[in-house]
């Protein structure tokens, strides 16, 4: 018996067969715990639907929104979820182009998170509308007087950016999954699964021609997704930066938002992957090396975000603009001081622990830190939006805002909506890429002599 | 091809598979369909495959998207010229954003279209010239030699180390269809 060659990045996976066995095991009939969790999630979602329904029937007076704070928890949550989406594309596309050899096991879950987060985010501008049933006013269509929407306004840019992002990330997700769905199709014996996988695999057989076009198409999709991920949160940031509101009107917003988005998204990937790894015993697939690499990315983007916070305060002081200075003073010491300090603590100070390798490879510590980051990043958007609107230029207009129960229920509902999709995904579609993992594993050989075929090094 | 029933060789190692590919090609049997659980450069080299023309779809789609992304706001702004915020009717800096997003959108969708057209997906015939293990850890070669060379092709597959060689696969395909 010759020695078994192990992969450098995934030493715990012995063979191609193991990958199919371990990954497709997730597609077996789920247990009681799963259905309980799904039930809780659906109950929260039902509460949010009720809250939204009340708002539609009784009007947006049910929210805490009033002049001057017209953007509240809904827009905060919109920006939060768009941000969460970004790291999925980072892991699936950007790290693909950089040939990061550890991304294979983690990217499918991250990509699913992207699609579901954009699905969640996309609801919020519509929920936020006073008359959600005329949401099609957002689309580039002329009204009854043949007047078109204003293409010079950032809100229309947003429609294009988010629309493109949802379409492209969903396409990337579904196309990238074709070979894995084919593997699931070949393995399953359940009738509805067989039908579903036959449909979604498009009759994939893994022929040389199919692979040839598939790998190329995948490369170009990744090349498109990479600048897209940078553009989407830039456009979202211009919703704010293009206005003249103190605290919003800054050129640093685009890179600052993009870094923040990736920071929060990576944290969310870690938060989600840790329980999956534990529950489904996928330790061989998500190794300490993965968490170490993810933590380093979190640390880098977190430092950029922290630097941007500092830069904002510095520029506010350096500009000698009274409203700008007042806005930032108000953030730190005004009515919303608590939100600002939650943001600074969770995003700036707590992630500093990741400098230590011990923390980076300690799963429990990492899980806790990433939850703090998620909280901090939601508060970041809350601080940016609400403190700026509550204290604009004219003091007689100043008024503070507190979210109502409707807004908080819908916020909770957004997590339920996201988790519902994720839970369904976990048990219906392959949550770890089968084919791409095999690309970084040594291929099966007839004559095991321990020599390299060149296949895995090419 | 003569419509002759083909044969399907099943392999459990990529090394044996490549030996078989090279021998078949050396014998002049170049129309092979190779099945693998993952993309593999050594298979591509053995088959002497060029780069996929899917990039043409990407290029054309991307350029179409860029053109559309600038044309749409220009057209609708000229359709009802209304000055907002003192900006020119055709505000190119703002159009760049629409142009970029449309480049990505149409470019990505046409890349996927290219994949489906070139790889002939969806494949709708019953999966008979196929084995479910091809999506796990087995490899396959389908070859349809002319009648007088069937024996030769069979022995090449066997000698290279095929686990099994299934013959008359097309006949089976027709029967079960």
Cα angle for residues A346, A251, A232 (degrees, 5° grid): 70
Enumerate the residues of chain A whose CB falls inside 8 A of the CB of residue B127. 203, 205
Q: Which of B24, B71, B79, B136 to mutate to test the interface with A (most CBs of A within 10 A)?
A: B136
- B175 has a pLDDT exceeding 60: no
CB contact under 8 A, B42 and A202: no
Nearest CA in chain B to A187: B132
Q: What's the pLDDT score for residue A31? A: 85
Residue B148 lies in a domain: yes
Residue B129 lies in a domain: yes
Token digits of residue A429: 């579609």
DSSP for residue B37:
S
CB contact under 8 A, A202 and B123: yes
CB contact under 8 A, A161 and B101: yes
Residue B18 lies in a domain: yes
Residue B1 lies in a domain: no
Predicted ipTM of the assembly: 0.91
Over chain B, what is the mean pLDDT? 88
Nearest CA in chain A to B38: A435
Q: How many residues does chain B have?
A: 177
Query: For residue A162, with 0-12 CB atoms within 10 Å meaning exposed, 13-18 middle and 19 or more buried, which class applies?
Result: buried
User: What are phi and psi for residue A225, nearest 5 degrees?
Assistant: -70, -30
**Closest Cα of chain A to B72: distance in Å?**
9
Query: Domain ends where: B81, B96, B118?
Result: B118
Q: What's the pLDDT score for residue A452? A: 43
Enumerate the residues of chain A whose CB falls inside 8 A of the CB of residue B35. 205-208
Q: What's the pLDDT score for residue A12? A: 80
CB contact under 8 A, A231 and B97: yes
Q: Is A243 on the interface with B (CB under 8 A)?
A: no
| Domain region containing B79 | 54-118
Contacts of A396 (CB under 8 A, 6+ apart): none
Q: What's the pLDDT score for residue B6? A: 84
What is the band of B125 on the pLDDT scale with cuts at 50, 70, 90? confident
Query: Domain ends where: B102, B118, B134?
Result: B118
Residue B169 lies in a domain: yes
DSSP A65-121: -BTTB---HHHHHHHHHHHHHHHHHIIIIIHHHTT-TTGGGTHHHHHHHHHHHHHHH
Q: Which of A154, A207, A227, A233 to mutate to test the interface with B (most CBs of B within 10 A)?
A: A207
Enumerate the residues of chain A whose CB falls inside 8 A of the CB of residue B84. 150, 152-153
Residue B2 lies in a domain: no
B49, B77, B101 member nearest A160 (Cβ)? B101
CB contact under 8 A, B135 and A206: yes
Enumerate the residues of chain A whose CB falls inside 8 A of the CB of residue B16. 446-447
CA nearest A91: which of A253, A286, A256, A234? A286
CB contact under 8 A, B104 and A227: yes
Q: Is A208 on the interface with B (CB under 8 A)?
A: yes
> Are B112 and B69 contained in the same domain?
yes
> Are B107 and B133 contained in the same domain?
no
Q: What's the pLDDT score for residue A417? A: 96
Residue with tokens 């791409």, as numbered in its chain: A436
CA–chain centroid gap for A256, Å, is 16
The number of C-beta contacts closer than 8 angstroms across A and B is: 220
User: pLDDT of B63-91, one tens digit each?
Assistant: 999 999 999 999 999 998 988 888 999 99
Nearest CA in chain B to A19: B136
Share of chain B above pLDDT 70, in %: 92
Strand order across the beta sheet in which B164-166 lies: B32-35, B139-143, B7-11, B164-166
Q: What's the pLDDT score for residue B168? A: 72
Query: Domain ends where: B73, B91, B118?
Result: B118
**Closest Cα of chain B to A253: distance in Å?**
16
Q: What's the pLDDT score for residue A104? A: 85
Residue B131 lies in a domain: yes
> Are B41 and B58 contained in the same domain?
no
Q: Is A14 on the interface with B (CB under 8 A)?
A: no
CA nearest B61: which of A117, A171, A212, A140? A171
**Closest Cα of chain A to B176: distance in Å?**
17
Q: How many domains does chain B have?
A: 2
What is the band of B170 on the pLDDT scale with cuts at 50, 70, 90? low
Topology of domain A16-139+151-439 in CATH is: Formate dehydrogenase/DMSO reductase fold (1.20.1630)
CB contact under 8 A, A216 and B54: yes
> Are B114 and B163 contained in the same domain?
no
DSSP for residue A140:
S
Q: Which of residues 439-458 of A touch B (CB under 8 A)?
A: 439, 443-447, 453-455, 458
CB contact under 8 A, B101 and A447: no
Enumerate the residues of chain B whose CB falls inside 8 A of the CB of residue A197. none
Residue B72 lies in a domain: yes
Contacts of A141 (CB under 8 A, 6+ apart): A148, A149
Q: In a structure prediction context, what are the per-residue pLDDT tens digits for chain A, which is 458 residues long?
A: 345 567 777 888 888 888 888 888 888 888 898 999 999 999 999 999 999 999 999 998 999 998 899 999 999 999 999 999 988 888 888 888 888 888 888 889 999 999 999 999 999 999 998 899 998 888 888 888 888 888 998 989 999 999 999 999 999 999 999 999 999 999 998 999 999 999 999 999 999 999 999 999 999 999 999 999 999 999 999 999 999 999 999 999 999 999 999 999 999 999 999 999 998 888 888 988 889 999 999 999 999 999 999 999 999 999 999 999 999 999 999 999 999 999 999 999 999 999 999 999 899 999 999 999 999 999 999 999 999 999 999 899 999 999 999 999 999 999 999 999 999 999 999 999 999 888 888 888 876 544 444 444 43
- B153 has a pLDDT exceeding 80: yes
> Are B134 and B169 contained in the same domain?
yes
Distance CA B176, CA B170 (A): 10
């Amino acid at each position: 018996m010759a020695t078994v060659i192990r992969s450098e990045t995934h030493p715990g996976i012995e063979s191609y067969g193991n990958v199919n066995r371990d990954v497709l095991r997730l597609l077996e009939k789920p247990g009681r715990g799963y259905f309980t969790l799904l039930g809780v999630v659906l109950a929260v979602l039902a509460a949010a639907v009720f809250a939204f329904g009340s708002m539609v029937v009784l009007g947006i007076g049910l929210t805490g929104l009033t002049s001057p704070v017209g953007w509240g928890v809904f827009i905060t949550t919109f920006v939060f979820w768009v941000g969460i989406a970004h790291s999925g594309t980072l892991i699936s596309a950007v790290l693909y182009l950089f040939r990061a050899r550890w991304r294979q096991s983690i990217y499918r879950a991250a990509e699913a998170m992207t699609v579901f987060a954009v699905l969640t985010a996309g609801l919020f501008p519509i929920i936020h509308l006073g008359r959600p049933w005329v949401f099609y006013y957002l689309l580039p269509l002329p009204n009854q007087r043949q007047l078109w929407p204003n293409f010079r306004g950032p809100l229309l840019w947003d429609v294009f950016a988010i629309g493109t992002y949802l379409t492209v990330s969903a396409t990337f997700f579904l196309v990238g999954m074709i070979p894995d769905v084919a593997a699931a199709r070949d393995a399953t014996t359940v009738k509805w699964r067989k039908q579903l996988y036959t449909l979604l695999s498009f009759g994939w057989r893994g022929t040389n021609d199919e692979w040839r076009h598939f790998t190329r198409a995948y490369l170009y999709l990744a090349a498109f997704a990479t600048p897209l991920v940078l553009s989407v949160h830039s456009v979202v940031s211009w919703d704010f930066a293009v206005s003249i509101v103190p605290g919003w009107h800054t050129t640093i917003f685009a890179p600052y938002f993009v870094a923040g988005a990736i920071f929060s998204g990576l944290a969310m990937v870690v938060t989600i992957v840790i329980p999956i790894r534990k529950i489904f015993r996928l330790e061989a697939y998500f190794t300490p090396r993965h968490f170490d690499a993810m933590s380093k990315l979190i640390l880098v983007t977190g430092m950029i975000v922290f630097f941007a916070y500092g830069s904002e305060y510095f520029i506010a002081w350096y500009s000698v603009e009274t409203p700008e200075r007042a806005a930032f003073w108000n953030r730190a010491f005004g009515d919303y001081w608590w939100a600002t300090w939650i943001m600074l603590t969770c995003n700036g100070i707590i992630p500093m622990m990741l400098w230590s390798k011990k923390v980076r490879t300690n799963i429990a510590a990492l899980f806790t830190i990433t939850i703090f980051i998620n909280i901090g990043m939601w508060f970041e958007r809350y601080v940016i939006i609400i403190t700026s609107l509550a204290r604009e230029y004219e003091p007689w207009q100043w008024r503070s805002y507190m979210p109502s129960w409707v807004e908080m229920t819908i916020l909770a509902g957004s997590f339920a909506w996201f988790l519902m999709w994720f839970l369904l995904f976990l048990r219906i579609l392959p949550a770890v890429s089968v084919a791409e993992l095999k690309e970084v594993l040594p291929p099966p050989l007839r004559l095991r002599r321990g020599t390299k075929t060149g296949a895995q090094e090419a | 091809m003569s419509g002759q029933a083909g044969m399907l060789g099943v392999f459990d190692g990529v090394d044996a598979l490549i030996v078989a590919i090279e021998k078949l090609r050396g014998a002049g049997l170049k129309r092979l369909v190779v099945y693998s659980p993952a993309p593999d450069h050594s298979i591509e080299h053995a088959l002497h495959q060029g780069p996929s023309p899917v990039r043409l779809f990407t290029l054309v789609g991307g350029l179409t998207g860029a053109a559309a992304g600038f044309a749409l706001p220009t057209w609708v702004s000229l359709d009802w010229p209304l000055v907002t915020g003192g900006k020119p009717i055709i505000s190119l800096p703002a159009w760049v954003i629409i142009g970029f997003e449309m480049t990505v959108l149409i470019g990505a969708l046409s890349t996927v279209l290219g994949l489906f057209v070139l790889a002939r997906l969806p494949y709708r015939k019953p999966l008979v010239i196929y084995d479910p293990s091809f999506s796990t850890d087995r490899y396959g070669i389908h070859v349809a030699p002319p009648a007088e060379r069937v024996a030769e092709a069979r022995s090449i597959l066997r000698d290279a180390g095929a686990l099994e060689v299934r013959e008359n696969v097309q006949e089976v395909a027709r029967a079960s269809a």
